[in-house]
Amino acid sequence: MATVLKQFIRDAFEETTTGNRSYHIWMGVLTALMCLGAYSYSVQLRAGLAVTGMHDHVSWGLYISNFTFLVGVAAAAVVLVLPAYVLDDVDFGRAVLMGEAVAVSAVIMAISFVVVDVGGPARLWHAIPGIGLLNWPQSMLAWDIIVLNGYLVMNFCIPLYILLAHYQGRQPDKRRYVPFVMLSIFWAVSLHLVTAFLYAGLASRPYWNNALMGPRFLATAFAAGPALMILILEVIRRKTDFDVGDATIHKLSLVVTVAAQISVIMLLSELFKEFYFPTHHSLSAQYLYFGLDGKASLKPFIWLSVGMVLMATLVLTLHPLRKRVGWRNTACVLLFLGILLEKGLGTIIPGFIPEPWGRIDEYVPTWIELTVSLGIWALGAFVFTVLAKAAIPIELGRKRFIA
Amino acid sequence: MKPDLFPILNNIAPPQECCSKPSGAKQLLDRPMDRRTAAGVMAGALVAGMGLLSTSCSITASASEKEQAHLDWEAIFQGNYRLMTEDEKKNTVERLQRSHELHTGKTVRVSAAEPKEKVLYGYAFNVSKCRGYMDCVRACTKENNQDRASDMKYIRIHEHAKGEMNFEHAQDDFFHEVPAAGHFYMGTQCFHCQNPPCVPVCPVGATWMEPDGIVVVDYDWCIGCRYCMAACPYDARRFNWAEPQVPEQEVNPNQHYLGNRPRKKGVVEKCTFCIQRSRDGRNPACVEACPTGARVFGNLLDPDSEIRWILANKKVFRLKEDLGTEPKFWYYMD
Amino acid sequence: MNRLFLLLLICLGSCSRKEVPGHGQHLLELIKEATEPNSNAGVTGEQFLDGVERVKAKGFPQMPEFFVASRTPKIERFPCGRCHDQPLSKLVQRSADEGKKAHWSLTLQHAPANTMACKTCHGEDKMDELVTLNGATVNMNHSYQVCGQCHSKQIKDWAGGAHGKRLGGWAPPRVVNNCAACHNPHRPAVESRLPARKENTTVDEVTR
């Protein structure tokens, strides 16, 4: 086993460090962005979070927004995992490894966003049970720490096991990994639910404190995540020999369509509740969609987001349009960005505005936050590229273990 | 998670239970741990402590530099204050005192005074009497060594136009002659809820309610995730976005570990009913400073206390009572 | 899977805060159960009183014992008898001859003129003491008894602790300020001023 692993790592290293010019440019750009992010983070570490746009009244900003969105992307891998492993669907089976790679990179990004958000990263060991004190089960954040790390481990180990089996030219033993797959399916749903509960459990923030929070998180996640996967698979089939085939993409786009439709219905019911008879508890929504006291910095973004999501849902709902590559990909881009805006700017930030006593203190991210976030997104793309680059030749049967 | 850890996670842990746990470096070192975990933990700490170690072992560094490095090294492994034994608490505050002396040459008293039995603190605020003078705000900032650079305040005084009590329409940054005609004033701060929503959310148990009802933060255990700030419905918590600045000559030397001792950047802080004063029998700084007597503080478990008389004889109300937070902060009128 | 979930639920249930005595109990029940007087665990606020002169409050049989900070050390030129060595009619005559001295500048801005005059509170004979409406004398240190004749609601709140200012700490002994420590009896209205805003500006600086 040790020699297999040794050779596997050597092969993977070799594979990820060789490539054509565009591959090197891509990785070079990502590395440069990561360096930029690391530099900005070092500035933040020295000066404190004062260099961000956050303040006592909007105490979570771009970082936690990105975290929330990425948890959804990670959870969406279940859309591929469930049919591929449990229902033995061949079409989903082809893409499942890529889906898990997306999940791994999304979780890594999500964890990174939490780490850059905390004020004392050096004290994070306080959350390690045993040497620190993890306030489980009271704190939803403690739950999130557990589900995020568990999900990362599962989504790394299951595909690694399968890949190693393929690498040795044999079929993986179902009895060995299917129980963990089952667990990971349960885990994926709870991952995003737990993150939604993180907000929904706070009675202090009426904008978050609603029962639809969890289901809506799931619906948007199952729209944005697979939309991203469609786009990634389209890129991969163009750039490499690994072609998942039209059937997989078609099935994925159906999932995206249904999830997008459900999330639009949920959006409508939320808007109805907030605006039919607006109360004190609707102030955040009023601020978000129309502005309050002449302050409306989120208004253009949320309407852009709503427009993008509605447009994308419409395109995907119409069969003739969804079947055309151009329309479908545009719709996926619109949907992904629309939900990114909605989860990012439209969910976390307005929860803090107005603050508990009604002041409207707005939030605008600084360049530090933007560049750190960009660096983390580059890290995620980097991780995904490395994972995909190492896995594809094995999946195609080009790389095999030679005893 | 081991089941025996559960009792310490509850809001009021019986002292015997919470003190039976070793803490800090001892918590770390005494625990049976397989070699790999231990190595991982120690490696992280080693990287962090390398600079300190090199100072403490250096022959060129002065004795006080060495001592400082040694104290800083110990601080890294400091455990959760709530789980410390009495001896550990004593050692910790002594280290803090010594460290402050080495840094500034001045001596401070860092108390580790424990809660008194049969004492539960409560607060009452007379809406008819508050005139918006804000002497309480100023006294609070001075007493509690709050960051001067960001002008951090625990207390907010809201100026309401008569006719409604809508905080959305109130002003809290007024600067004109007070009381302004046609207006009344209300102060808000930490209400030390008996069912505090900020406490269970903390992922590391760095904030809790003491048996005497004061909701406190262990600034050295807080990781700065700010979940408690999102959970508080009263805007009671403040974060140190940068290194807090307090001029050396203005530092209040009468301190408590859970109270006004200097904080560092990246941690959450809040009103502690001036724990460094109240546990000695003294009134919080805001109560003492109020020129109109609008602020009343006392022991809710003493039937002879003023606060109990107010609860029994005045018509009182609390803010956002519908949330079930049970604030120990009442408002009343003449 | 279900079993795992059930286990989680049981864990959640077993960790509910109700296990801890006192917690989960309604706050007001907790308070009402505490009926034992002076259960302050021996804490005293005496050291914060700086030895302030005090008298035991009189006339509140329902209330637990409390003290009032003495008024006399705060009054300039007390005892009054040092100057008021003659009957008032003679002193008035002297003022007419030699010119007005001392507190003649005082104007009474307390209730309408046909309700209150100097002698409503100050006796004509015993200058060191105050008088009630029906002529009984009241020691200067118990001046609250004079105020309380009209301000009956206020004095009830004051004796209870809802009005006025306590000195020292929250812990016994309870020593409160006399009415006149805050309210100038000749001009009781409280004036407006600028708020003390910045932590390093004093009230005087702001007012200037």
Per-residue pLDDT tens over the stretch A259-273: 999 999 999 999 999
Which pTM does this prediction carry? 0.89
For A312-337, what is each residue's pLDDT tens digit? 999 999 999 999 999 999 999 999 99
Mean pLDDT across the stretch A181-198? 92
Q: Which residues of A touch C18 (CB under 8 A)?
A: none
For B238-290, what is each residue's pLDDT tens digit? 999 999 999 989 999 999 999 999 999 999 999 999 999 999 999 999 999 99
Look-up: residue for tokens 């040694």?
B70
Residue A401 confidence (pLDDT): 86
The structural domains of chain B, ordered by start, are: 3-111 (no CATH), 113-334 (3.30.70.20)
Look-up: residue for tokens 């899977």?
C1
Residue B29 confidence (pLDDT): 41
Q: pLDDT above 70 covers what percent of chain B?
A: 82
* pLDDT for residue B24 is more than 50: no
User: Which residues does B61 contact at the CB level (< 8 Å), separation at least 6?
Assistant: B55, B69
User: Which residues does A68 contact at the CB level (< 8 Å), separation at least 6?
Assistant: A195, A217, A343, A344, A347, A348
B4 CB within 8 Å of a chain C CB: no
Do the Cβ atoms of C195 and B283 come within 8 Å?
no
Do the Cβ atoms of C8 and A182 come within 8 Å?
no
Distance between start and end Cα atoms, chain C: 73
DSSP state of B308: H
A186 CB within 8 Å of a chain C CB: yes
Mean pLDDT across the stretch A292-313? 96
Least confident of A349-353, C106-110, C123-127: C123-127
Counting the structural domains of chain C, the total is 1
The answer to whether residues C32 and B300 touch, using CB atoms and an 8 Å cutoff, is: no
Q: Which residues of B touch C41 (CB under 8 A)?
A: 116-119
The answer to whether residues B56 and B50 touch, using CB atoms and an 8 Å cutoff, is: no
Q: What is the distance of C-alpha B46 from the center of its chain? A: 30
Alpha helix (H) residue ranges in C26-164: 27-33, 88-98, 118-121, 144-147, 152-160
Whole-number average pLDDT of chain A: 94
For B31-87, what is each residue's pLDDT tens digit? 444 444 444 444 555 555 555 655 655 666 688 888 888 898 888 889 999 999 999
Residue C76 confidence (pLDDT): 81
Give the number of A-B residue pairs with CB atoms closer than 8 Å.
163
A350 CB within 8 Å of a chain B CB: no
Candidate ranges A83-97, A240-254, B256-270, C110-124; pick with highest mean pLDDT? B256-270
pLDDT range class, residue C123, cuts 50, 70, 90: confident
Neighbours of chain A (3+ CB pairs under 8 A): B, C
Q: Quick check: is C116 in a domain?
A: no
Query: Measured between CA atoms, how close is A319 to chain B, in angstroms?
Result: 44
Please tell me which of the candidates B299, B311, B328 has its beta carbon nearest to residue C170: B299
Please tell me whether residue B314 adopts helix, strand or coil conformation: coil
**Residue from C18, C27, C182 whose CB has the most chain B CBs within 10 Å, to mutate:** C27
Q: Which residues of A touch C1 (CB under 8 A)?
A: 182-183, 186
Q: What is the distance of C-alpha A138 from the center of its chain? A: 25
Residue C9 confidence (pLDDT): 47
**Residue from B133, B137, B251, B302 whose CB has the most chain C CBs within 10 Å, to mutate:** B302
* pLDDT for residue A94 is more than 60: yes
Neighbours of chain B (3+ CB pairs under 8 A): A, C
Mean pLDDT across the stretch C46-65? 92
The structural domains of chain A, ordered by start, are: 2-395 (1.20.1630.10)
Bridge partners (DSSP) of residue B159 are B171, B185
- Give the whole-angstrom CA distance, residue C104 versus residue B28: 77
What tokens does A194 get? 């737990």
Residue C118 confidence (pLDDT): 87
- Give the whole-angstrom CA distance, residue C72 versus residue B69: 58
- Give the whole-angstrom CA distance, residue A368 versus residue A53: 9
Query: Measured between CA atoms, how close is C42 to chain A, in angstroms?
Result: 35
Which among B193, B209, B199, B210 is positioned nearest to B117, based on CA atoms?
B210
**ipTM exceeding 0.90, yes/no:** yes
Q: Quick check: is C201 in a domain?
A: no
Which among A311, A371, A314, A301 is positioned nearest to A340, based on CA atoms?
A301
Q: Which residues of B touch A59 (CB under 8 A)?
A: 226, 229-230, 239
Edge-to-edge strands, sheet with C175-176 = C54-56, C67-69, C175-176, C166-167
Range of the domain at C151: 50-96+141-188
Q: Quick check: is C208 in a domain?
A: no
Q: Quick check: is C147 in a domain?
A: yes
Rg of chain C over all Cα atoms, to the nearest angstrom: 27
The answer to whether residues B192 and B327 touch, using CB atoms and an 8 Å cutoff, is: yes
Mean pLDDT across the stretch A207-213? 94
Residue B26 confidence (pLDDT): 44
What tokens does B26 get? 């001892």
